[in-house]
Amino acid sequence: MLRPVSAPFLRIRWRIFAFLFGFGFMAYVQQKSITVAADRIMPDLHLSQFQIGLLEQAFVVGYAFFQVPGGVFGQRVGARRAFVSIGLLAFFAMAATAIAPSVFAAQAVFVALLAAQLLLGIAQGAIFPVSAGVFSAWFPPSRWAFVQGLQTMGLQLGAAVTPPAVAALMIGLGWQSALFWISAPALLLIGGWAWYARNTPAAHPAMTTVELAEIGDHRTSAVDTSVGLARLGQVLANRNVLLIAISYLCMNYVFYLLSNWVFLYLIQERHFSVLESGFLAVAPPLAAAFGAGLGGIVTNALLPRFGNRWGYRLVPLCALPTAGSLLFAAVHAANAYLAVAALAICYAAVELTEASYWGTAMAIGGGDTMAVSGFMNTGGNLGGIVGIPIVAYLSGHQEWNAAFFLGTGFAVVSALLWLLIDADRPVSAAR
């Protein structure tokens, strides 16, 4: 029953947001740990750099192809059960990655690590589509870009914490223990969510009539729990859904280049030590976290003035070409620290656009936000599937510059596609 009293100072919706911020933070800690541990994994297990790329590829394949199934799963069972299920599965995958070398021998270890990374990708595939659905239900449309920007900030803070934390744990405990303990706090987060969360604002026992009125009655974002194959096909064939997925694919080549490969780039191309690289590798994701939060604020301010179409377009149209130019500048920087600075600003420019992508997915998705967001993120992770083996091959042959030049091209194409994306045309118009 709703309480007809004043809403608390910290609204229930912001407490729900805090959990989603935490899930995003832990997801990136889990995802990025193996890229930091790679410098120790390769000699210990006699793996090549290309094999490390295959481990990252296994994660991205599972992650990419379970975006839409994960979104549909979230729509059907609700966010509360979905996050408990995927959170526990992700923790199991991280534990399996840590213990695999103690259980298997020779080539079987590599196969086990591939399976564990694939499972981690499958488990995390639903996190952000389901998060988008929660935001659409718990926040008014005027705040969607803002909360998406803040959650993306959480992802990058997780990515920023990971290099120094894993590097320090590896030195003290070894890489296997480091991968296990860095993921252990996820269990507390899962338990708290299972106890406190609800699928809708009205279902929460602490919800008040005041806060419910603040959230508003935006019926187009009521979750469609009956989504089936026919409706799913109609949604995914929508022109705007396809365009935003392709644009997100191109942008994510740059994203994966920056998020997965900077640590090794600093060691191999700029000749920093492992520990120094661990701390320097913090700079790009910290800048990205700032960029994500700023992108949410700026986009949120643009929407009332320019409407959905141009309000969501303007930031990507400016930020993505800037990111491409900074990639070009980074590889030509004579000073290694200037290269780190250029990569950090580039990453911030890329993450400025996240609020536009996810806010547009929510605007055009409506009741199918989880499915639409999942499809967009499938496109985004295809950027990783395409990019990871390319970067692994080029970097393994000391051709880092070519990998960065490709990123410049992808960034420009991603920006141009925004001229065709119209956030004023929701998929519900196709019903």
DSSP-assigned states of every residue in 301-337: HHHHHHHHHHHHHHHHHHHHHHHHHHHHHHHH-SSHH
Residue-level pLDDT at 403: 82
Q: In 104-238, which residue ranges form alpha helices assigned H by DSSP? A: 107-124, 127-138, 144-173, 175-183, 186-196, 209-215, 229-236
Residue-level pLDDT at 271: 58
Buried b (16+ CB within 10 A) or exposed e, 363-374: bbbbbbbbbbbb
Residue 3 β-bridge partners: 208
Of 127, 46, 45, residue with least CA distance to 88: 127
Model confidence pLDDT, tens digit, residues 337-351: 787 788 889 989 999
Residue 410 pLDDT > 90, yes or no? yes
Give the C-alpha separation, 121 to 62, whole Å.
Answer: 4
Of 364 and 233, the structure prediction assigns the larger pLDDT to 364
Residue-level pLDDT at 220: 44
- Domain boundaries in the chain? 12-430
The CATH number assigned to the domain with range 12-430 reads: 1.20.1250.20
Residue 385 pLDDT > 90, yes or no? no
Model confidence pLDDT, tens digit, residues 263-308: 666 666 665 655 555 556 677 778 888 999 999 999 999 999 999 9
Residue 375 pLDDT > 70, yes or no? yes
Give the C-alpha separation, 265 to 28, whole Å.
Answer: 19
Model confidence pLDDT, tens digit, residues 243-259: 999 999 999 998 888 87
Residues 95 and 112 sit within 8 Å (Cβ to Cβ): no
Model confidence pLDDT, tens digit, residues 47-69: 887 888 788 888 888 888 888 88
Mean pLDDT over the full length of the chain: 84
Of 359 and 7, the structure prediction assigns the larger pLDDT to 359
Of 10 and 320, the structure prediction assigns the larger pLDDT to 320
Model confidence pLDDT, tens digit, residues 199-223: 989 899 989 888 888 888 754 445 5
Residue-level pLDDT at 312: 95
Residue 101 pLDDT > 90, yes or no? no
Residue-level pLDDT at 280: 66
Model confidence pLDDT, tens digit, residues 21-35: 999 999 989 988 888
pTM: 0.79
Tokens representing 402? Answer: 């070519």
Residue-level pLDDT at 93: 94
Reported confidence tier of residue 178, pLDDT bands at 50, 70, 90: confident
Residue-level pLDDT at 388: 75
Residue-level pLDDT at 298: 95
